[in-house]
């Protein structure tokens, strides 16, 4: 099923990309000789008008072949050839594929919010890991993250993403602590096989009792299922880890729990007992994922802003990679996309569409990079032609294309290596 979901994602993204080129070429009066979904030998196809529509054997990629597209093709003087069109017309054709991919994200993302997404409130810190960068910087439970490097934070998804792309880099964080605005410099450390930034900040998590061990202190004290622990000895509790730490560090001394039960506040005194070398009271957390569905117009707004956020994060990531501030181990290829596609599909349609939108943005922006053999490289050539009032020589363009091909092959090798290491060696 993972392979099927992967092929669906790649098929949609490639089709949309090439459709952008195809539509703009047709609008400019360029004769399109072939529209292929996939690469390599033709599996099936049919011809309509001047264009042959085919599905090829290798599902990774696709292309639109336009008449007179390659500079080394023999020029016939026909007005429906690509090279016969103005620089502006050719630039629009070259950019159309990537822009269509980005447009797809703007179209798909509102459906994510209409179908439903996990409810997300302010980025309130629920737990600060001991010895972590966050603890060294002075963060505390209950802090609300408001800005990271000048970017407004509306939830943990954005906050953790910005932390992830800044390993071993100083990050300016603006917080709200009990109504007081404060600023901290956080330096995330490198973590996980993806070599991304980790701060030790853990999102808040409602401390709700999901299981009680019979005969243990919680059971004897009268704690019930779905009780919500609000505070321990007067200290507000924001996360289960914080609650568990309070129990462990109590050393068996009586603790006064402030509890919300059936929308009423009450209190219970509990003394932990030692078990397997640590102090416990015999409770487990309740896991409850709340899905929120949004209305049509609200989803349009949320989808638009989410797509802008993804575009911004993609540019930040590219900048970090190009300046070697982010490890190339973060890059992933087809295997990584396949794994993510399968995982997203298991979660549900909303997650799958969200992944589709994010990968579509990445594909669109990457294709606009000024590397020969990519759409962005062609746009550079056309920009030079516009300034010089004539195209570059075929020899110069061929050399540039060869250099671009080497760079692209090198990128493919890197992401393939990363994929293999993640799958087989997990480092």
For 292, phi then psi, to 5°, come to: -110, 125
CA–CA separation, 347 vs 316, rounded Å?
Answer: 27
As beta bridge partners, residue 196 has: 191
C-alpha torsion sign, points 272, 275, 279, 284: negative
Question: Could you confirm whether 18 is annotated as catalytic?
Answer: yes
Q: Is 146 helix (H, G, I), strand (E, B) or coil?
A: strand
Q: Where are the alpha helices (DSSP H) in 270-393?
A: 296-322, 334-347, 349-367, 375-388
Alpha carbon of residue 427 to chain centroid = 20
Alpha carbon of residue 183 to chain centroid = 27
Asked whether 139 and 124 are in contact (CB, 8 A), the reply is no
Asked whether 50 and 348 are in contact (CB, 8 A), the reply is no
Q: Is 354 left (phi over 0), alpha (psi -120 to 50) or beta?
A: alpha
As beta bridge partners, residue 55 has: 37, 44
- Tell me which long-range contacts 305-313 makes (C-beta under 8 A, separation of at least 24): 306/109, 306/112, 306/113, 307/102, 307/105, 307/106, 307/109, 307/357, 307/361, 309/158, 310/105, 310/357, 310/358, 310/361, 311/102, 311/361, 311/365, 312/151, 313/161, 313/162, 313/165
The residue with tokens 């919680």 is 218
CA–CA separation, 354 vs 157, rounded Å?
Answer: 13
Length of the chain: 427
Inter-CA distances, 368 with 109, 203, 270, 307, Å = 21, 36, 61, 17
Catalytic residue of the set 18, 69, 81, 141: 18
Asked whether 304 and 115 are in contact (CB, 8 A), the reply is no
Closest CA to 28 of 101, 83, 80: 80
Closest CA to 355 of 10, 4, 121: 10
Asked whether 308 and 137 are in contact (CB, 8 A), the reply is no
The catalytic site residues sit at 18
């Amino acid at each position: 099923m993972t392979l099927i979901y992967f092929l669906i994602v790649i098929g949609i993204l490639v089709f949309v990309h090439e459709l952008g080129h195809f539509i703009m070429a047709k609008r400019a009066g360029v004769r399109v000789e072939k529209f292929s979904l996939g690469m390599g030998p033709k599996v099936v196809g049919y011809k309509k008008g001047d264009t042959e529509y085919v599905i090829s054997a290798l599902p990774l990629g696709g292309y639109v072949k336009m008449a007179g597209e390659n500079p080394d093709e023999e020029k016939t003087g026909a007005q429906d050839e690509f090279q016969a069109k103005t620089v502006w017309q050719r630039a629009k054709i070259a950019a159309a594929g990537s822009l269509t991919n980005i447009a797809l994200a703007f179209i798909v993302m509102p459906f994510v919010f209409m179908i439903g997404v996990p409810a997300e409130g302010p980025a309130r810190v629920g737990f600060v890991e001991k010895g972590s960068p966050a603890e060294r910087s002075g963060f505390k439970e209950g802090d609300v993250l408001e800005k990271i490097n000048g970017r407004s934070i509306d939830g943990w998804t954005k906050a953790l993403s910005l932390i992830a792309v800044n390993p071993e880099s100083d990050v300016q964080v603006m917080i709200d602590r009990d109504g007081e605005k404060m600023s901290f410099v956080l330096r995330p450390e490198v973590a996980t096989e993806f070599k991304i930034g980790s701060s030790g900040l853990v999102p808040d998590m409602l401390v709700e009792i999901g299981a009680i061990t019979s005969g243990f202190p919680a059971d004897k004290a009268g704690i019930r299922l779905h009780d919500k622990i609000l505070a321990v000895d007067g200290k507000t509790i924001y996360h289960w880890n914080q609650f568990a730490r309070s129990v462990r560090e109590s050393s068996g001394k009586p603790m006064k729990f402030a509890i919300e039960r059936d929308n009423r506040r009450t209190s219970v005194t509990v003394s932990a007992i030692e078990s397997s070398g640590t102090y416990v009271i015999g409770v487990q957390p309740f896991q409850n994922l709340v899905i929120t569905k949004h209305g049509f117009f609200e989803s349009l707004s949320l989808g638009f802003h989410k797509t802008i956020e993804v575009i911004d994060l993609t540019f930040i990531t590219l900048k970090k990679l190009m300046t070697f501030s982010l490890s190339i181990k973060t890059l992933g290829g087809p295997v990584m996309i396949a794994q993510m596609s399968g995982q997203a599909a298991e979660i549900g349609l909303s997650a799958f569409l969200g992944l589709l939108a994010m990968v579509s943005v990445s594909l669109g922006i990457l294709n606009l990079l000024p590397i020969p053999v990519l759409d962005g490289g062609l746009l550079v050539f056309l920009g030079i032609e516009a300034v010089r009032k004539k195209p570059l020589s075929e020899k110069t363009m061929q050399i540039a294309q060869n250099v671009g091909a080497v760079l692209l092959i090198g990128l493919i090798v890197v992401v393939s290596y990363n994929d293999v290491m993640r799958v087989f060696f997990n480092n």
